[in-house]
Amino acid sequence: MANGRSVGNIMITGLPAVEELSVVAARVRRGVVAVRSADGSGAGVIWDGDGRVVTAAHVVRRGPLTVEDAEGRTYEATLERSDEGNDLALLRIPAGNIEPPAWAFDAPVRTGQLVLAVGNPWAIPGSVSFGIVFGTGEVTPDNRVSLPGAIYADLRLEPGNSGGPFVDARGRVLGIASMVSGGMAVAIPAATVRRFVENVV
């Protein structure tokens, strides 16, 4: 391949992998919102065209709640439900036309695969950070919280990333960022999020 250069066994021409990263980031950011509560701010992910938004429970413990979408429009949000055990909450905003991102509910998550996190760190909406999956499953972080099937990422998370998505190289949401534990970023997997939203007991 002309002008190609090899990274391992991948040919990279004109560095499309790098360009693709920004394409994926731009696509996902459209479906990520900033969530503000009396306690501070976090992020959320548009769930559907009915104005439902998924976020982390610890972000929305105390109202009033407001949501700012990627276009900068702000909405009053109501808390529909929250699950402190899985650190998930479901909000509703009066906006029915925001395109939700794709979700990867069933795709296997492999250690080493790329991850993007989008959030609202230090109240900078739509910030993107980049890393890989560190590990999955029954890893109990230092604070002894055990989250079955959690996704651990080698990725920089800051206050305000909570509730935002972990996204794979195809732009699909793998999970919802919950916390940093032992230096690792921890996300609640998409399958758990779906069970929560659909209220599967």
Catalytic residues: 58, 87, 162
CB nearer other proteins, residue 10 or residue 62? 10
Q: DSSP letters of 57-71?
A: GGGSSSS-EEEE-TT
Q: Does 148 bind other proteins (CB under 8 A)?
A: no
Minimum separation from the CB atom of position 184 to other proteins (A):
7
Minimum separation from the CB atom of position 111 to other proteins (A):
5
Per the CB < 8 A criterion, the answer to whether 54 and 45 are in contact is yes
Q: Does 133 bind other proteins (CB under 8 A)?
A: yes
Q: Does 10 bind other proteins (CB under 8 A)?
A: yes
Q: Chain centroid to CA 166: how far?
A: 4
Minimum separation from the CB atom of position 10 to other proteins (A):
5
Is 16 in a helix, a strand, or coil?
Answer: helix
Residue 32: closest CA among 41, 18, 43: 43
Structure tokens at 35: 């969530």
In the window 90-109, what residues touch other proteins (CB under 8 A)? 97, 99-107
CB atoms within 10 A of CB 78: 14
Q: Does 134 bind other proteins (CB under 8 A)?
A: yes
H or E element in which residue 131 lies:
strand 127-136
Residues that bind other proteins (CB under 8 A): 7-10, 12, 16-17, 20-21, 24, 31, 47-50, 97, 99-107, 110-114, 131-139, 152, 154, 168-170, 172, 182-184, 194, 197-198
